[in-house]
Every structure is written in structure tokens, then in C-alpha cells.
Amino acid sequence: MPEPSRLRSISYGGGVQSTALLVLAAQGRIDFRTFLMANVGDDSENPDTLTYLDEYARPYAAEHGVELTILDRVMVRSGETRTLYGEITREGSKSLKIPVRMSNGAPGTRSCTADYKIIVIGRELKRRGATPENPATIGIGISLDEIHRANSRRSERHEDIVYPLLDLGLRRSDCARIIRDAGLPVPPKSSCWFCPFHRPETWHDMRRTDPVHFEKSCQLEELLNRRRDELGKDHVFLTRFGKPLREAIPDGVDLLPMFDEADQADGACDSGYCFT
């Protein structure tokens, strides 16, 4: 009996690195023809990422014969489709799935990446035939300048994790060039719009250019803390500054000198399933 062929897929995050992988796959420079994107929810993902996906990524993939499939989180027993924002904010929820910052600025425990990315893609790989005996090869879009994010978690039994951008020695700037050379605009950085791993510059830009989602982020923080008050627990925050988002990110300030490149170094999402 011939050995079954191994499934090969990219975990597509919708950002610069994984879009560069899409271009490289379309050009035949990497051996992947399947891209799977775990959607945290249309109410949760950066709206600009969803727009880019519809206007550029999906048409480009279709034009070049590359499968790009969007996966929702569907509950096995009920068949209900859940979103991260909806789960956090639903009535009676005590969920703190996101890495909210504690009073000392350190991120708390989180399950958002596992529940809404790793498990969702893992189920699809298993559905397509991945097993411990014949694991799928899953490519992650971590570039050379973020090599510290690689190999941060063990592979599941049904998967082998690889890093094509590292194999090619490509940095994020190289990824942007690859995308532009293919005639595509460079996508925005992918993430949930309310992610506590945002750098302060990102929050500042959101307050200035997307006040609706900045206000919703403030309201989310306030909701979480009302629940914390009811439980007699300390407040949590969406930045490392130990104060409400409205105060931590002042309105009308063009330069925030206390913010530096280390803001994501204290526990940023290192799985490679987000911010790629």
C-alpha cells in the first residue's frame, strides 16, 4: 500500500507575513496550496484585515489556484458559531480569554489563541485526514526579525509546524516587498481590535483614526472591571500602564515618548497564529 500523502497548509493570519506566504505559494516558491484562516469573528478581527481579505487576498488566491478557506469557531455539541468578542461580552460571562494586563502591567493567562486559532485549525486538519501517524505540515508566518516567536509551543500530535519565512531568511520588510512586487497593497497588521498586546502606538492610532473601535475597547475594559468589582477582584486593563485605556492613551497627543519597541516583548502572542 502506498503511503498517504501528507496534508500541507499555511495558517493564514491576514497580515504581512502570511500574505507574503500566499504570494510565494502562488509563485511556486513554497510548496503549499492550502491556506486556512481561523476567523475569531467578524465582530472581533481588525475590520481592515477583513476588508483586505475580501478585496485582495481571496481574489488573488482564486486567480492563482490557491485554496484560501475561512474557518469559524463552531461548537461541537450545539453547532453554534461563536466569536471572541461575543463570548467575552455575553450576559453573565466571566470569560477573560484575552491577555488583559494585571495591575502590575503583566499579561494574565489567556486562551483566545488556543480556542479561536489553534483548535479551530486543528479540527479542520483532522477533518481533512491528519492523524498522529500521518500528521499535517502546518506553515506559520514568522519572519526572521521575529525568530524569537518560533518554536514557542509544542506541535499537536496531528501536526508538524514549519516556518517557511525562516527557511528563506526573509524579514518583515522582505515580506512587504514581495507583496508589493506582486501588485498587491501591503495589508494592515492582523489582530483583534481589542487585543491587550497592541503596542501603545497602535492604540494611539486607533483613537485618532478609528474612534468607534477605540470607544468600544474602552467600554469592553469597563465591562470587564464591573464584573471584577462584583467578584471582589482587582481591575484589569488593556495596556501595561495600570490605568483605564481612556487615561493611558490621551486624546490629541501626537507623540508618546514613554512608548518603545519593548511593549510587545513582555509576553506578546508568540504562537505565530496572530499578528502574522
Report yes or no on 147 lying in a domain: yes
Q: Over pLDDT 70: what percentage of the chain?
A: 89
Q: How confident is the model at residue 153 (pLDDT cuts 50, 70, 90)?
A: low
Q: What is the mean pLDDT of residues 1-7?
A: 67
Listed range (91-100, 140-149, 162-171) with the worst mean pLDDT: 91-100
Report yes or no on 39 lying in a domain: yes
β-strands 34-38, 8-11 pairing? parallel
Report yes or no on 258 lying in a domain: no
Domain count, the chain: 1
Listed range (53-67, 83-97, 242-256) with the worst mean pLDDT: 242-256
Looking at the DSSP bridge assignments, the partners of residue 69 are 36
The pTM of this model reads 0.90
Domain span at residue 38 reads: 8-191
Interval 61-91: pLDDT, tens:
999 999 999 999 999 889 899 999 999 999 9
Longest CA span, the chain: 68
- What integer best gives the mean pLDDT of the chain? 90
The CATH number assigned to the domain holding 174 equals 3.40.50.620
Report yes or no on 90 lying in a domain: yes
Report yes or no on 228 lying in a domain: no
Instruction: State residue 262's pLDDT score.
Output: 43
Q: How confident is the model at residue 208 (pLDDT cuts 50, 70, 90)?
A: very high
